Structure 1
Amino acid sequence: MIDWRKSALLHGALLAVLCALNYLLPAYHQGNLARVMVLATYAAGYNIMFGYTGLLSLGHALFFAAGMYGTGLAIGQFGLSPLPALAVGLLCGVVVSAALGLLALRTAGVAFMIVTLMFAQAGYLTILYFGEYTRGDEGFVLQQAQRMLFGIDLSDPTNRYWAAFVLFALSVVLILWLVQSRFGRVLIAIRENEPRARMLGYDTFAHKLAAVVASGMMSAMAGAAYGVLFGYVGASFGSVQYSIFPLLWVLLGGAGTVIGPFIGTLFMFYLIDLSSGVTTAYMLIAGVVLVLVTLFAPQGIAGELRRRMWRWLP
C-alpha cells in the first residue's frame, strides 16, 4: 500500500537535490541535467500510457515533434513570443494525440503498436516533405532574442536549468496526483484487467483516450520546452529513435513508477555520454549494460526498489 507521506518526502527530496545541484555542478553537467529533466518529462508522459494504462506505443515521437514544431514554427515563422508559442505547441500535441487516440484505440496489442508507429512515421515524413518551412533534417535554430520570456533569457544556462526544473517538478506533481486520483486508479485497473474494469461499468475506451491525450500533452510540452530552451528544432526528434528512447527510459527506470522515468533517462543519458568517451563503439557498451540491467532488474531500477525494499513507492 502506498504511504503518501513517505512518497512526498522522497519526491520532495529529489526536487531539493536538483535545486542544490544547480549551484554545485560545473557548467557541462548543469547543461546535461537540464536536458535530462526535459527528456524525463517526455518519458513521464510516455509512462502515463505505457506504465499506468498498459498501452505500448511506438510512435510517441509524433507528440514530442508536434509540440516542438508547433512552438518552433510559431516563433520562427510567425514571430510569436515564447509563452503563446508554447501554448500553440501544447495545443498541437492535444489535437494530434486526440486524433491518433480516436483511430489507434480501435485496435489493441501488436496492432496498436503498428498503428502508432505508422502515424509517427507519417508525421516524420510530413516534416521532411515540408522542408521549405521545417528545414527537414537540417532543422533550424531559434535565436537568443526569440527565447526571451518575461524579460528572462532562456538561453542563459542558469535560467534554462530553472525552466527545465519547473517543467520537471510540474510533471512529478501531476503524476503523483494522477496516481492517487480515481481516474488514475481506473487506468491501473485497465492495465491489470480491462475486461473486468469494463464489467464494473467503466468506459474503458474513454479512459484510454483520456490517457493518450494526457500523455501526448505532456510529451508535446516537453518537446516545446526542448526547442525553446536549447534553441534547436529538427526532424530527427520525430524519428523512430525518439519513439524508442522513452520506452527504454521507462523500462530502465521502472514502468508505472513516478520516479522511474527520471532514473531511466539519467542512467541512459550518462551511460551513452560516458561510453562514447571511451570508444566509438559506445552503443555496444550501452547494449551490454542494458541487457544486464534487464536480466537483474526486470522491473526497472525503481520497480526493483519497490519490489525489494520500498513497497510504498508509487
Structure 2
Amino acid sequence: MSDGAKAAVLHGALIAALFALHFVLPAYHHGNLARVMVLATYAMGYNLLFGYTGLLSLGHAMFFAAGMYGMALPVTHLGWAPGPALLSGLAAGALLSLVAGALALRTVGVAFLIVTLMFAQAVYLTVLYFAEWTNADDGLVLQRAERVLWGLDLSDAGVRYLAALVLFSVCLVLSLWLVRRPFGKVLIAIRENEARAEMLGYDVFAHKLGAVVASGTMSAAAGAAYGLLFGYAGASFAGVQYSILPLLWVLLGGAGTVIGPFLGALFTFYLIDITSGFTTAYMAVVGVVLIALTLFAPQGIGGEIRRRVWRGLP
C-alpha cells in the first residue's frame, strides 16, 4: 500500500472513530470532544504556518477572533442568519490574514514573531475599545433562535457534535490534500532551507503569504464555528493565551503532522480536565507532565509515531 493510501486510511479511520463515538459517549465527554474538535481545527490552521512553513507566530488569536466576531457581530446587530454570518467570519479572517501577512512577512525570525504579537494585541485592544458593539470582556451571547442553521438547532448537543465533526473532517482532509500538493511541498522546502528554495526559482514570499492566508482562514473558520456552536464570543479569545495555546497543541501533538494538532488538543484538554479534579494546583501538575513529554518525546506524539512506527506519516 502506498504512503498516500495509508494516509487516507489513517485519517479516514480517525473521522470514522469520531463519528462512532457520537453514539456511545456520555454527555460530558460528548460535549468535551465537540469542543476539542473545533479547537483542533484552530490548531490545524496554526500547524500549516508553523509546522509546515516554519513561521513561528504569536498572533494567531487575531484570526480566531476575526472569525468569531465576523460571525457574531452581524448575527447580534444586523440580524443575519448563521449561514451568511459564517461566510462573513471566513471573509474577515481571510482579509485580516492577507493584510497582516503582507506586512509581517517583510520581517524574519524573531521580528516576525514580535510583529504578529503586536498585530494580535492591536486586534484585542480594538475589541475592548469598541465595547458598545463587542461588549468587551462580557462578550456577546448568541440566543438559541440565532443558532439555527438550515433548520438545524446548533445548540442541541447531538447536532453540535456532528457540526463540529464536519468542520474538523473538512479541514483535516483539506490539510492532508494541501501538504501533499506541490504547494505544500514547497512550504516544507522553505521550512527546511529558505535560501535554497529561492535559489531553485520558487517565489518564497508568495508561498509564505499563501500559507499565512490559508492558516488564518482555517483559524477563522474555527473561531466562527466556536462562537456559533457554543453561543458566545468574548474578548478573551483574542488574548495572548489563545495565541500560545495552538502553539502548545501543535508542539505536543507533533508539528508538521496532519494528525498532530488533534492529538495535542485532545491530550492537553483532558490533562487539564483530569488533574483539576484532584488538586487546585493542577497547572503545576500539568506543567510537570508537559515538561516530561517535551524531554522524552521532543517531536511530539505524532512526531514520535513518525519516527518509531511510520516514516511516511504526513
Matches within 5 A, 1:34-113: 34-113=34-113
Q: Deviations over 1:25-65 (max 9, x none)?
A: 01110000000000000000000000000000000000000
Instruction: State how far apart, in whole Å, the 2-side matches of 1:2 and 1:124 are.
Output: 46
Question: SS at the partner of 1:201?
Answer: coil
User: How do residues 209-228 of structure 1 correspond to structure 2 at under 5 angstroms?
Assistant: 209-228=209-228
Residue ranges of structure 2 left out of the alignment (5+ in a row): none
Quote the residue 2:170 is aligned against: 170
1:103-152 CA-to-partner distances (Å, cap 9, x unmatched) read 10000000000000000001001100111110111112100000001110
- 1:300 maps to what in 2? 300
Return 5+ residue gaps in structure 1 as ranges.
none
Number of residue pairs aligned between Structure 1 and Structure 2: 314
> Which residue of structure 2 lines up, in the alignment, with residue 202 of structure 1?
202
Structure 1 pair 83/220, CA: closer, same or farther in 2 (3 Å)?
A: same
Aligned match of 1:126? 126
SS in 1 for 2:23: helix
Aligned residue identity for 1:203: D
Task: Spell out structure 1 runs of 4+ moving beyond 3 A.
Answer: none
Supply the distance in 1 between the matched residues of 2:89 and 2:118 (Cα, whole angstroms).
Answer: 22
C-alpha spacing 1:242/1:71, structure 2 compared with 1 (3 Å): same
1:221-240 mapped onto 2 (5 Å cutoff): 221-240=221-240
Give the deviation of 1:308 after TM superposition: 1.1
Partner of 2:6: 6
Alpha-carbon distance between aligned partners in 2 of 1:218 and 1:160, rounded to the nearest angstrom: 19
Matched-pair contact (CA < 8 Å) for 1:51–1:257: yes
Is 1:257 aligned to 2:257, yes or no?
A: yes
Within 5 Å, give how 1:118-157 maps onto structure 2: 118-157=118-157
Q: Alpha-carbon deviations, 1:160-211, whole Å to 9, x = none? A: 0000000000011101101110000000000000000000000000000000
Identity %: 70
Instruction: Tell whether the 8 Å contact from 1:2 to 1:312 is kept in structure 2 after alignment.
Output: no
Report the Cα distance in structure 2 between the residues aligned to 1:20 and 1:32, rounded to whole angstroms. 15
More divergent stretch after superposition (4-13 vs 113-122): 4-13
Q: Which amino acid aligns with 2:301?
A: I
Query: What is the CA distance between 1:281 and its match in structure 2?
Result: 1.1
Match of 2:116 in 1: 116
Task: Give 1:290 deviation, angstroms.
Answer: 0.4
CA contact (8 A) 1:2 1:313 kept: no
1:299 maps to amino acid:
Q
- The CA deviation at 1:309 is 1.1
TM-aligned CA deviation for residue 2 of structure 1: 7.2
Instruction: Kindly indicate whether the alpha-carbon contact (under 8 Å) linking 1:2 and 1:311 is maintained by their aligned counterparts in 2.
Output: no
Instruction: Name 2:276's counterpart in structure 1.
Output: 276
TM value normalised by structure 2: 0.99
Supply the AA of the counterpart residue of 2:281.
Answer: A
Cα distance between partner residues in 2 of 1:230 and 1:107: 37
- 1:24 maps to what in 2? 24
- Amino acid across the alignment from 1:86: L
Distance in 2 between residues matched to 1:205 and 1:173, nearest whole Å: 25
Looking at structure 1, the residues matched to 2 and 188 of structure 2 have their Cα atoms a distance apart, in angstroms, of: 14
RMSD (CA atoms): 0.9
Please give the alpha-carbon distance, in whole angstroms, between the structure 2 residues aligned to 1:255 and 1:215.
14
Kept in 2, the 8 Å contact 1:249–1:265? The answer is: yes
Using the alignment, how far apart are the partners of 1:305 and 1:42 within structure 2?
22
**Residue type at the aligned position of 1:106:** R
Amino acid at match of 1:43: A
Q: Which one-letter code corresponds to 1:291 in the other structure?
A: I
